[in-house]
Amino acid sequence: MLGKIEKIELRDIWKHEAYDFTNWLADSENFQLLSEEIGLDLQVIKTEANVGGFSADILAEEINTGKKIIIENQLEETDHKHLGQIITYASGLEAKYIIWIFKELREEHRKAIDWLNEITDNDLSIFAIKMELWKIGDSLPAPKFNILCSPNDWAKAVKKTSNSQELTDTDLFRLEFYQGFIDYASKQNNILKISQKTRTKQWYDISIGSSQIKIRLTISIQRNSITTSLYIKNSKELYNKLLDNKTQIEASFGDKLNWREDLLEDAKASKIQFIRENIDIKQKENWQKAYEWLLGNSIKLYDAVKEYIK
């Protein structure tokens, strides 16, 4: 017997944007859900942040850089008024990120946000996020953030460095590859939360709800290989717990895994890996099957360990 998925009206739960939804979102646990969805480490500075005679719903910052973020909430269809407000707030508070959360996005506003993301290089990044509530049967409603517009970090990085040597060819390759993975994975119906943040590093991380463990994807141009792994940081106890259940985990996953317990010597990190070799990722025609392999096996890996990492 399977339950029926039902969409819940936002106003049935949050009657008032400022008093109900904004306060709910600003709660640390709920704000973490938003942080994980967009791939930035965020913390709230204040709600109702004054900008002249107006106020932004939430002023936040990126923890690692201190960059300011303004969040504007609209539990209705987007309108020109709120589009003007987010630009005003970003200017007045010198924000580097804008997050606009709404019930529905009008097509003209989608085009406007995509255009702004295209022309602003790395000076300003805008996320347009559709808010939804779902429940199964008699369960409590569960929030879902759907990112409809986001900055294209690869395109911005290329634009910003077109006249400089800041990024190597390998950096640009990784940005393009992982941006392609994000675009592919975001369109699939999967249980993993795909961050929209690309980087020039060899790896790309997927949060699975714990600061101690994440899924880490890596690519190796030299070895013609791709890898999905569980990356466990500063927790020998968690690694040993998984190791104790190695037989069950590998049976659930459906294949042998590479258990990197040797990394525990430095007390920093350990890995449980699944590697595919002999795939030439320098050739773009191989990227689609690489994306399918990485996402599919990442989901299998998460499913195999999720009961042990709660």
- Residue-wise pLDDT for 146-195, tens only, equals 999 988 766 666 666 554 456 777 888 888 899 899 889 988 877 887 77
- Axis-axis angle for helices 287-305, 169-186 (nearest 10): 60
Look at residues 179, 205, 202 and name the one whose alpha carbon lies nearest to residue 192. 205
Q: What is the pLDDT of residue 87?
A: 92
User: Helices H, strands E: what count in the chain?
Assistant: 10, 12
For residue 159, what pLDDT is reported? Answer: 61
Sign of CA dihedral 234, 179, 83, 89: positive
Mean of pLDDT values over 57-76: 89
Whether residue 288 is predicted with pLDDT greater than 60 in this model: the reply is yes
At 225, the pLDDT band (50, 70, 90 cuts) reads very high
pTM of the model as a whole:
0.58
Q: What pLDDT is attached to residue 81?
A: 93
Asked whether the predicted pLDDT for residue 64 surpasses 90, the reply is: no
Domains of the chain (ranges plus CATH)? 5-151 (3.40.1350.10), 159-308 (3.30.1460)
**Residues 148, 152, 156: CA angle, nearest 5 degrees:** 150
pLDDT for position 150: 86
With a CB cutoff of 8 Å and minimum separation 6, the contacts of 288 are: 184
Q: What is the CB neighbour count within 10 angstroms for residue 207? A: 18
Using only C-alpha atoms, what is the Rg of the chain? Answer: 21
Location of structure tokens 């965020």: 42
Rounded to whole angstroms, the Cα distance separating 96 from 89 reads: 11
For 252, residues 6+ apart whose C-beta sits below 8 A from its C-beta are 303, 304
Q: Any alpha helices (H) in 61-168, and if so which ranges?
A: 80-92, 107-119, 153-160
Helix (H, G, I), strand (E, B) or coil at 108: helix
The pairing of strands 68-77 and 97-104 is: parallel
Reduce the DSSP state of residue 221 to 3 states and report it: coil
For residue 76, which of 46, 109, 47, 45 has the smallest C-alpha distance? Answer: 109
Q: Of 75-84, 89-98, 159-168, 180-189, where does mean pLDDT reach its minimum?
A: 159-168
Give the SS3 label for residue 91.
helix
Q: What is the pLDDT of residues 234-264, one digit of tens each?
A: 788 899 999 999 999 999 999 999 998 765 5
Q: Mean of the pLDDT values across residues 276-296?
A: 94
Integer distance in angstroms from the first to the last C-alpha of the chain? 26
